[in-house]
Structure 1
Amino acid sequence: MKTFQKLLIIILFVHYSCSDETTIQQDNQQLESNLKENVNVSSRAGLKQIGTGVMMQAFYWDVPAGGTWWQVVEGKVQDWSNAGIDAIWLPPASKAQNGAFSMGYDPFDYYDFGQYNQMGSTETRFGSKTELQSLISNAHNVGLNVIADIVINHNSGGDLEPNPYTGTPYYTDFNPLSGNFYRSNADFHPNNVHSNDSGGFGGFPDLCHHQAYVQDWLWKRSNSVAKYYKNVIGFDGWRFDYVKGFEPWVVREWKNAVGGFSVGEYWDGNAGTLDWWSGEAQASAFDFACYYRMRDAFEGNNLNRLNDDMLWKRNSSKAVTFVANHDTDEIYNGKLLAYAYILTHEGYPTIFYRDYEEWLSKSKLNNLIWIHNNLAGGSTSILYTDNDEYVAKRNGYNNAGLVVYINNSNSWQERWVETNWSNTRIKDYTGHSSWEPVTQGGRWVKIQVPPKSYSVWAPK
């Protein structure tokens, strides 16, 4: 079947424009050149170490169409780096079925970043390949890692073809103009490997990762999707979409083949399940358990829920914490309090673009990012909780640590707490309190916090 498809594509290429043929030749030349250089993501010079700062989700659902988004983000990378961001997460960057209108989660041609005229457009919703590479280059110049959103559970945009395994035609005939990774019915479920698959999503054709051909094109070949993203486009790491749809070994094998930071979207509020997936995939996971407990705490006015199980409490090195993302935004009234929580606690925190650039106080978020990067070291000890108040301390690691006091009530609160410091003058690094108390010889001190707010205390 694939031999027939390749012959068909050669015939069809005759009808494509000279500009598309030139683009294909240029892409192949660039790929060959970069593969010879053997670029290694893990040792790319001058980048910040991922996890030492904060990740920025550099998009939201339905960002403006028109091919300008890569330029918008490029204009912000210097300020983000200055603020303490160490990585930016971009939306799915390759051509999808809806062309210039797609957010990228319906992938068609993994090698078209806005340089081929197919699916109704040349550019993607976000811009051209040249603009994407310019963005990545400038992000690298200011020390930022660039995380690719990888959608490999399903594809979209194929032509209708017979399926000998079901007897029913389906849209599994993929003939991408890039000339790479043609797909047919054997590459999707159901096929000769599996009669069915539990990972279906939205009715899209569901890739079969057990097929050697699919593995080769996704991560094994010298010009695989993974290696093209890394060596030609310049990505440094991976955010895997909808990892519930396929086994965790797929992420593990991808990472082993190309390296780079990896985080999976396993949408489940059970911390044990997230911990299991992270261990099997040998990758980080978004801490949905933390997200849901924060929603219950700040929206449900019960800060005792912050005592509950979360991935960061089980394995902080693999927990990517977040308050909002492009799919969900359920924390409203207490959103800044939630950011105060994740930016003072363990885990690798993520900030949502619209929260930072549009909806919340950028100065307050910058302050919390600074606190995270400079004070929030070591293990965490919860000191006090009730419905309205939460106090915890970081015990310090190559820094003094901190005490964070979160108040969800409508009045000022005060509390005696045991700190890490004896006979030490401390201050609130948020500026919300003007107190500068001195801790007792036994490390106890009284601290305060404004209504519906937070304070963060450390040695002056």
Structure 2
Amino acid sequence: MKKFKNISTKTILLLGGLVIGLTGCSDDDDTSVNDGEVTSQFLKMDLNQFKKEDAGVFMQAFYWDVEPIGDWYNVINEKIEDYAAAGVNRIWLPAPGKGASGSFSMGYDPMDYFDVGEFSQRGDENVETRFGSREELESLIEKSHANGIGVIADIVMGHNSGGGLQDNPLRPGDTEVFSLFNEANGNASGKFNRSYEHFHPNDIHANDEQALFFEKTDLCHDQPYVQDWLWKRDDSVAEFYKSLGFDGWRFDYVKSFAPKWVTEWNNKVGGFSVGENFDGNQDVLKDWVDASGSPAFDFACFYRLDETLDRAQDLTALGDADNMLRKLDPDMAVTFVANHDTEKDENEDNRISYAKKLLAYSYILTHDGYPTIFYLDYEAFRDQLKTLIEIYNTLAVGDVEVIEASKDEYIMKRSGSGDNPGLILYMNISGQTKTRTVKTNWANRTLVDYTDNSRATPTTDGEGNALLQAPAGGYAIWSVTK
């Protein structure tokens, strides 16, 4: 994750304002749409009347190498009221169990699933995880629930780290593996002790035909003992996390185990779930959600946004049919613009640039799918994202119709439902203001941009046609006035 060592949050906020605030002059400009210069704020409808029954967005409430170490649960605890007021209905926390890296672990090197910050491991006097103590975790979950926010645990069940060294006789010529987990070897809780037979290869098979993440300590989910301790027992990992108050699960790197194990986990303990199938192929994602019955992060959508906004700088592909999970199965698509992996320092060429972040958020927060907000993005673009979240939770309803998808422009219409008028998103990545006549769903109505990126107040004719605009390098979201 970028640490922003030489750039302050204030600077990032100013950058965010510039990204959406620039309005250039060009032959595409049409000043007639600004006739009257009416302040659009006074024309807006009260969007609360359109709040959806299932309103809410997902918040990834951490980034890679969060600081301060040992206090992260308290940091997020202080933000819960703001998240709730903004329209967040779930937060995703990092894997809560103790990792092999101790107080430096981000949870992706799981060692003791049952140590959520209350045991000393391998002589380490510090009992807390990188994120805090069990008491602080439970306090955060309790406060989240009091504010109507569900809490999702990161589940890393494909591989383990930090066990004691032992021989695995089923590994010819390479028998030594760190696969012994007991009270003296990284499992101070004494629950779910493991040995080499619980990893690959074992007496059932050499591997489970899935991609191996850490080949020597790849957990074998076909072993009944592993199934029992992960989700089947009344005191399993799943039931323990549920007892802490977790409401659902984010399954890490699901390529390393069969989708049926996600199905079994969910059937046993219930709750919301989402899988991290790190793949930009929408068909791969669709096959996985069909097999697991769980939603998945829409990496195909992420890569299309990265491609169109940054690498190609051409929005045409956003109009292609069926090139994202949200287009194939919107109810199973969890969309996102950034996460802890895409924002790591080494991923400079595998991320959406900060200059294009709000354009990407304008896309996922107006289309179907369940959008995710990344912690650092919210810190950088708080006001703009609050506006987009409000729009998503109210006006972003009805069928999606792409009106224009060309090099510089993307225009999409949501049809609305009942009294809800829906919206029109107009994205523009050129260096000048763009205008285009668009056929809307609204006849003889005055329109306004609910993001305030344009102050124009165009009027539709009797057939619903209106001259809309989008600022240079920015977006506008149009709907009717009150």
Which of the five TM-score ranges fits, normalised by the shorter chain? 0.7 to 0.9
Secondary structure at the residue paired with 1:276?
helix
Structure 2 residues not aligned, in runs of 5+: 1-50, 344-350
In 2, distance between residues paired with 1:293 and 1:400?
28
Aligned residue in 2 for 1:258 = 269
The aligned counterpart of 1:368 is 388
Q: Aligned runs of 1:106-185 on 2, under 5 Å?
A: 106-119=109-122, 120=124, 121-167=126-172, 168-175=175-182, 176-185=187-196
- 2:341 is paired with a residue of what secondary structure? coil
Structure 1 stretch 189-198 or stretch 277-286: which is displaced more?
189-198
TM-score by length of 1: 0.87
- Farther-moved stretch of structure 1 (56-65 vs 146-155): 56-65
Change (3 A) 1:104 1:259: same
**1:31 alignment counterpart:** none
TM-superposed deviation, 1:379:
1.7
The corresponding residue for 2:221 is 209
User: Partner of 1:403 in structure 2?
Assistant: 424
**1:438: Cα distance to partner?**
2.3
Is 2:255 the counterpart of 1:235?
no
Match of 2:440, as an amino acid?
Answer: T
The offset of 1:177, in angstroms, is 1.3
CA contact (8 A) 2:159 2:214 kept: no
Amino acid across the alignment from 1:234: G
SS class of match (1:374): coil
Query: Could you tell me how far 1:182 is from its partner in structure 2?
Result: 0.7
Give secondary structure in 1 for the equivalent of 2:390. helix
Contact 1:426 1:459 in 2 (8 A): yes
Q: CA separation in 1, counterparts of 2:140 and 2:392?
A: 26
Deviations 1:319-347 (A, max 9, x none): 00000100003111311100111001110
Contact 1:87–1:147 (CA under 8 A) maintained in structure 2: yes
Which of 255, 268, 274 does residue 285 from structure 2 map onto? 274
User: Equivalent residue for 1:105?
Assistant: 108
Map residues 4-403 of structure 1 onto 2, 5 A cutoff: 52-119=55-122, 120=124, 121-167=126-172, 168-175=175-182, 176-197=187-208, 198-203=210-215, 205-231=217-243, 233-299=244-310, 300-308=312-320, 309-329=323-343, 330-332=351-353, 333-357=355-379, 359=380, 361-398=381-418, 399-403=420-424
1:369 is matched by which residue type in structure 2? I
How far apart are 1:203 and its partner, in Å? 4.6
Measured against aligned partners, the alpha-carbon deviations of 1:362-383 in whole angstroms (never above 9, x if no partner) come to 1111100001001101221000
For the Cα contact (< 8 Å) 1:383–1:392, is it kept in 2? yes
Deviation, 1:204, is 5.2
Deviation at 1:441, TM superposition (A): 1.8
Following TM superposition, by how much is the alpha carbon of 1:51 offset from its aligned partner in structure 2, in angstroms?
5.7
Amino acid at match of 1:391: I
Q: Is the 8 A contact 2:97 2:113 kept in 1?
A: yes
1:92/1:148 contact within 8 Å kept = yes
1:446-457 matches, within 5 Å, as 446-457=467-478
List per-residue Cα deviations over 1:65-124 (Å, max 9, x = no partner).
431000000000110110001100001111011110100100011111100011533100
Shift in Å, 1:237: 0.7
Q: How does 1:392-431 map to 2 (within 5 A)?
A: 392-398=412-418, 399-431=420-452
What SS is found at the alignment partner of 1:279? helix
Preserved CA contact (<8 Å) 2:447 2:457: yes
CA gap of 1:349–1:327, structure 2 versus 1, over 3 A, is: same
CA RMSD, Structure 1 to Structure 2 (Å):
1.5
Q: How high is the TM-score relative to the length of structure 2?
A: 0.83
Deviation at 1:60, TM superposition (A): 0.3
- The answer to whether the 8 A contact 1:153-1:199 is kept is no
**What count of residue pairs does the alignment treat as equivalent?**
410
Do the aligned partners of 2:199 and 2:216 also contact (CA within 8 Å) in 1?
Answer: no
How far apart in 1 are the matches of 2:177 and 2:75?
A: 38
Which runs of 5 or more structure 1 residues have no equivalent in the other structure? 1-47
For the residue of structure 1 that corresponds to 2:255, the secondary structure is helix
Q: Is the 8 A contact 1:55 1:351 kept in 2?
A: yes
SS at match of 2:386: helix
- Match for 1:439: what amino acid? T
8 Å Cα contact 1:70/1:131 also seen in 2: yes
The CA distance in 2 between the partners of 1:204 and 1:394, in whole Å, is 50
User: Which secondary structure state, in structure 1, belongs to the residue aligned with residue 338 of structure 2?
Assistant: coil
Question: How far does residue 433 in structure 1 lie from its aligned partner after superposition?
Answer: 1.4
